[in-house]
Structure 1
Amino acid sequence: MKSKIVVLVGIAICTMLLMSPALASNADTLEIYGNANEDDTIDMRDLTCVKLIFFGKKPETELADAKYDGKINPLDFIQIKLIIVRKENELTFVDTTGKTITLEYPIERIAVLNAAAGAVITALGAEDKVVGATEQVLTLPETAKAFEDVPSLGTIMHPCLETTIEVDPQVVFAFAACPGARGVATKFADDLAYYDIPMAFFSFLPDMDTIRSDTMAMGWLFNEQEKAEEYVDFFEKQYDIIEERTKDLSPDEKKQVYMENLDYMVAYYMYQMITIAGGSDIAADVVTPARHVKVAPEWVVKQNPEIILSRNMPVMTYLGHGKTDEEAAQGILEDIKSRPGWSEIDAVKKDKVYLFSLEMATLRAPIGVIYMSKMFYPARFGDVNPDEILREYLDHFYGIEEIPEGILIYPYPW
């Protein structure tokens, strides 16, 4: 199995959610080598562009080196021609973390640690390429039927090296947005490197730039560009509505929100979710992409949030699809509201404390953003039905006509 992995110089672990340097000026750039003019596709314009670069008529671009051999020459002309007609023998792309990966093409065998990646692969109709996946991938409603015969590779926090080697993937797809899972995957990648199995990181959440760049890259990897564009358009439409209805909010009008990943732990991607939904995260000056940050209980009380969202460990245990114990959910809610000093927080006084399931807060974060926007501003989103949007998403991309049973948010906000 031929593969080469190169970490781009200057990319630090703390910028995992940022674009690679070559693409920082344009969020719509397709991060695949051969995209010489750095737009959102690879076509004859790229062939023209790379020829002009070769003859010194245009400055060199990062992605013009289609063969990824460190120089611009006629081999890049040939590679771009092959990519256009999808006859290339290898393809080089940049993942969410800025890592450059070259794979033999076509890609036929993938191991998936990332539930969001599994959902996108299924939406693209490429589920037959998956030869192994973690339990989070195998049990998500979007992927459960498609992957019912796929071997389990353990969990996202404890992937099994032996089984991964046995299924012999060309590449492993891991999750970039969560520092904990990313750290586990990074160590796992070191083990896999010994067996010449590369790892690529994707997030697919929660901002539109990441959704687009990750999904379109995946679309090109599987030659399903039109389906990828359709998936992106679905969320772009919803995000545009949220932006239009919240853009005129003054800082004083924005809801002050506290969202925890675990007890008193705040996360960068949750800050992004709150911001996209039109709220103001009380931890905006605390969070970092590099790691989750623990805040002091008294600090939360002092910030006095108007809305509290929790996805702590008990929530992950008792909420989600297939979990219907409302008594357990109520007990978790009461435990949170009865934390020392929390009786003085406005969110607690006004019953604006909610439990957010793993599906809503992480695995399906873009959908979670849609729910959050209406929770924050019900009057501005009176005509928006998040349940109907979730049903449309499940039905259109996965053929699931009704939302599977389970507690996704507690208490239900409307």
Structure 2
Amino acid sequence: MRWITGLILLLLIIAPAGALASAEDDARNLLAAGILSEMKGEGPGIDLLRDAASLYPDYPRSITDSGGRVVILYRPPERIVVMNSNAADAASVIGLSDRIVGVGDTITKAPLQFPDLAGLPNIGKYNEPDIEAILAVRPDLLISYVLWPDTEKLERHLPKRIPVIRMDLYKADTFRSELSELAHITGGSEEAAAYLSWYDDILSLVNERVGSIPDEERVRVFVDYGSGKSSGRRTMSEGTGMHDILVAAGGVNVASGHVSGYADVENEWVISQRPDVVLIWSGKGGYITGEEALFREARDDLMGMPGFSRIPAVRDDRVYVVSSAFGFGTVSPVAVLKVASWLYPDRFADIDTDAVHAEYLTRFTHAGEEIRTSGTFYYPAR
């Protein structure tokens, strides 16, 4: 109780004589609310309140995560669990790698992408967490997808002292805001500021060069996702990552308005649309070496489909393969730039997009030289 009294006195001392800056005002309100909750026996715990008081006005901090829940941290997290590759990717970019103590199984299986994280304790699958393994690494923050795992599999089994932030960190329309919020609540960093500046510069460059193109002059694109489950080809329309990338790159998805999401379309329909460019989305390549031949085969297979020689994209040799490891998350601005250069080569003739990707790998990832020289992220490479 002595500590509670001391914290209340602290709040009185730091009470504003006038208007406080927003961040300081938020910290004071959060600290006051935490103290009141503690007095009711529902608070975060005296240790966290003590730390927050010593860190004031930098902490407490709060965000509303993508699951719509308010998450409060009373001190910067020092032991973080990332449950999926997108969370690991984002956390690494904003300078949190050395605070990660547990990772999902997709990260343990990607040593070339996450050489500094792959050997950490495995805390289960992104949708099937191993609660005992999570508790064993004593985390003070856990980052998961918005929908997976559901709360019955995760939060229900965790003590209240372990906050969970739910963010997808791969969707084009929410990625930047999510990353910015994650950087804020974990303490901010020069790495986060540098990455977000780079992110904005790349997307601004693309928009400056394609944003004013009239709708009727935009390049028409078919996105191919392999053979259809029922017949024909499978495509990606509104609601998919590839659709967002090609729209940001100034293209028109020919499947838009015809189907949505992931859907099968007849070969005859694809031919009838006469797309200027075909983008083949592949689950191969990325942070794996020696898979360029698989990209070449996928491209050759599509271009050899009966009747596809009548498609302008095939006739003009404008068929490209993109790895799923290239389009989502922190690398997404490079993907938008690369696709834009394929759609409008004259507008990007002065940009070495391969060099931009190499810069991304060097500045913002921990991938080794073998990935920079032998990883296949798109085909043809030039």
Equivalent runs, 1:89-128 vs 2, <5 Å = 91-103=61-73, 105-128=75-98
Residue 40 of structure 1 is matched in structure 2 by none
C-alpha separation in 2, matches of 1:47 and 1:168: 29
Equivalent runs, 1:141-290 vs 2, <5 Å = 144-156=114-126, 160=130, 163-175=133-145, 182=147, 185-187=148-150, 189-196=151-158, 199-205=164-170, 207=172, 210-260=174-224, 263=227, 264-266=234-236, 267-285=239-257
- Checking the alignment, whether the CA contact within 8 Å between 1:254 and 1:280 is kept in structure 2 is yes
Displacement of 1:358 in angstroms is 2.0
The change in CA–CA distance for 1:406 and 1:296 in structure 2 (over 3 A counts) is same
Residue 410 of structure 1 is matched in structure 2 by 379
The change in CA–CA distance for 1:149 and 1:327 in structure 2 (over 3 A counts) is closer
Displacement of 1:341 in angstroms is 4.8
Residue 230 of structure 2 is matched in structure 1 by none
The change in CA–CA distance for 1:389 and 1:146 in structure 2 (over 3 A counts) is same
The change in CA–CA distance for 1:276 and 1:145 in structure 2 (over 3 A counts) is same
C-alpha separation in 2, matches of 1:174 and 1:356: 26
SS state at 1:93 partner: strand
Residue 19 of structure 1 is matched in structure 2 by none
C-alpha separation in 2, matches of 1:162 and 1:262: 40
TM-score (norm 2): 0.74
Range with bigger deviation, 300-309 or 226-235: 300-309
Residue 353 of structure 1 is matched in structure 2 by 319
Displacement of 1:235 in angstroms is 1.1
The change in CA–CA distance for 1:83 and 1:339 in structure 2 (over 3 A counts) is farther
User: What amino acid does structure 2 have at the position aligned with 1:253?
Assistant: E
Question: Which of 312, 316, 324 in structure 1 is aligned with 2:290?
Answer: 324
C-alpha separation in 1, matches of 2:214 and 2:79: 49
Structure 1: give runs of 5+ residues left out of the alignment. Answer: 1-42, 51-62, 177-181
Deviations along 1:7-37, one digit per CA (max 9) or x if unpaired, are: xxxxxxxxxxxxxxxxxxxxxxxxxxxxxxx
Q: Work out whether 1:293 is the aligned partner of 2:262.
A: yes
Equivalent runs, 1:24-103 vs 2, <5 Å = 44-46=20-22, 66=30, 85-88=57-60, 91-103=61-73
TM-score (norm 1): 0.69
C-alpha separation in 2, matches of 1:378 and 1:68: 57
Structure 2: give runs of 5+ residues left out of the alignment. Answer: 1-18, 40-50, 228-233
C-alpha separation in 2, matches of 1:113 and 1:45: 35
C-alpha separation in 2, matches of 1:84 and 1:381: 48
The change in CA–CA distance for 1:345 and 1:97 in structure 2 (over 3 A counts) is farther
Q: Work out whether 1:372 is the aligned partner of 2:348.
A: no
SS state at 1:328 partner: helix
Displacement of 1:324 in angstroms is 1.4
Residue 60 of structure 1 is matched in structure 2 by none
Residue 13 of structure 2 is matched in structure 1 by none
Displacement of 1:164 in angstroms is 3.6
- Checking the alignment, whether the CA contact within 8 Å between 2:275 and 2:312 is kept in structure 1 is yes
Residue 355 of structure 2 is matched in structure 1 by 388
Residue 397 of structure 1 is matched in structure 2 by 364
The change in CA–CA distance for 1:280 and 1:191 in structure 2 (over 3 A counts) is same
- Checking the alignment, whether the CA contact within 8 Å between 1:110 and 1:131 is kept in structure 2 is yes
SS state at 2:279 partner: strand
- Checking the alignment, whether the CA contact within 8 Å between 1:192 and 1:198 is kept in structure 2 is no
C-alpha separation in 2, matches of 1:48 and 1:174: 28
- Checking the alignment, whether the CA contact within 8 Å between 1:95 and 1:200 is kept in structure 2 is yes
- Checking the alignment, whether the CA contact within 8 Å between 1:138 and 1:147 is kept in structure 2 is yes
Displacement of 1:305 in angstroms is 2.1
SS state at 1:194 partner: helix
- Checking the alignment, whether the CA contact within 8 Å between 1:359 and 1:365 is kept in structure 2 is no
SS state at 1:119 partner: helix
Deviations along 1:313-339, one digit per CA (max 9) or x if unpaired, are: xx32x4223331443332222333344
The change in CA–CA distance for 1:234 and 1:156 in structure 2 (over 3 A counts) is same
Task: Let me know the Cα RMSD of the aligned residues.
Answer: 3.7
Q: Give the number of equivalent residue pairs.
A: 337
The change in CA–CA distance for 1:156 and 1:333 in structure 2 (over 3 A counts) is farther
C-alpha separation in 2, matches of 1:152 and 1:172: 13
C-alpha separation in 2, matches of 1:346 and 1:331: 20
The change in CA–CA distance for 1:48 and 1:68 in structure 2 (over 3 A counts) is closer
Residue 57 of structure 1 is matched in structure 2 by none
Q: Work out whether 1:309 is the aligned partner of 2:266.
A: no
- Checking the alignment, whether the CA contact within 8 Å between 2:141 and 2:165 is kept in structure 1 is yes
Displacement of 1:275 in angstroms is 1.2
Displacement of 1:238 in angstroms is 0.9
